[in-house]
Homo-oligomer: A and B are copies of this chain.
Amino acid sequence: MIETPYLLFLGDAPDMLAAKVAIGIRDWRPEHAIGQIRLPGCGADLKLTDMTLAEAKEAGAKTLVIGVANRGGVISAAWKEVLIQALEMGYDIASGLHNLLRDEGDLVAAAQTHGCTLHDVRVPTVGYPIANGKKRTGKRCLAVGTDCSVGKMYTAMAMEAAMQERGMKATFRATGQTGILITGHGVPLDAVIADFMAGSIEYLTPDNDEDHWDLIEGQGSLFHVSYSGVTLALIHGGQPDALILCHEPTREHMRGLPEYTQPSLQQLRDTALPLAQVSNPACQVVGVSVNTQHMSEADAKAYLAEVEKEMGLPATDPYRFGSDKLVDALAAL
């Protein structure tokens, strides 16, 4: 559990693309983002208040969150200076960087001296159980994709927000580094030991009220040969009552795999649903979420209408057109 609220560290990010984590926090947990702190030359701007460490501390910030990717996988001297100052002032630091805070001797020493915590959210901190497959109370929805990075996290985040607005009980459950930094907790599934993957998802989505929905962040794709095992563990550990199919229609091949083409939405449905019904026989596919960012608005609308007709399911781009259709489908279950 990472303590909130956060001060978002943008470092010397060259552009907004490098600030994906910080953008996610601002968009989905604005109440956690007390301000931003930038180094000279920073090309990213979240349009939050620029603050010094002292100002943010005064305003109540508890954790400095590294909201950017670092260049070349090295924590630079310029970053270090700020990070060590932050520890000296009592901040915890949270990071999803590949190179770990805990491997930096000076940060570890400063954290120990000042009683602060370094959160490396890439590394599991819990000894997860082996999955037992027992039916849990409460309801769960999982986004599954035709490919990686097609908008599964975004879909779950958007649905959580819309459901809470309607007064429904809904909790986003993070399974990746960005999601964990945004919400402050979760399971870094891609870093879990194989035998404990499904168990980690059971742990993440425990018994709950019968009318409560966990919105589980999807990972990988059953059709992406590098990560499909992670996806199946998520399906069987998550025991979803509802699946949302996620798709990005303009891709020419599977992400990172030039020899592989994406499956159709029909293939995804026909593969994912029987597998999900192994752990939850009542599971249904309830809707389609399409990432239309590379399509004109007219093309996007025409495409969504076509998908609705072909699949017999509500279809939307939750970023562009809202997630109401998907939430309606969950509410109707």
Contacts and interface: CB of A to CB of B under 8 A. Distances in A.
Interface in A107-132: 130-132
A133 interface: yes
A231 B278 CA distance: 15
A194 B233 contact: yes
24 contacts: A131-B226, A132-B226, A132-B257, A133-B226, A134-B259, A135-B259, A190-B193, A190-B194, A192-B194, A193-B193, A194-B229, A194-B233, A195-B227, A195-B230, A198-B225, A198-B228, A225-B237, A228-B275, A228-B278, A229-B229, A229-B230, A232-B232, A260-B278, A271-B274
Nearest to A195: B190
Nearest to A190: B195
A236 B228 CA distance: 8
Secondary structure of the A contact surface, majority rule: helix
Nearest to A234: B229
Interface size class of A (residues with CB under 8 A): 35 or more
Given A190-B194, A195-B227, A230-B233, 20 more contacts: A131-B225, A131-B226, A132-B226, A132-B257, A133-B257, A133-B259, A133-B260, A135-B259, A189-B194, A194-B194, A197-B230, A199-B226, A225-B236, A225-B237, A228-B232, A228-B236, A229-B230, A229-B233, A271-B274, A271-B275
Contacts of A236: 225-226, 228-229
A52 interface: no
Contacts of A227: 195, 198
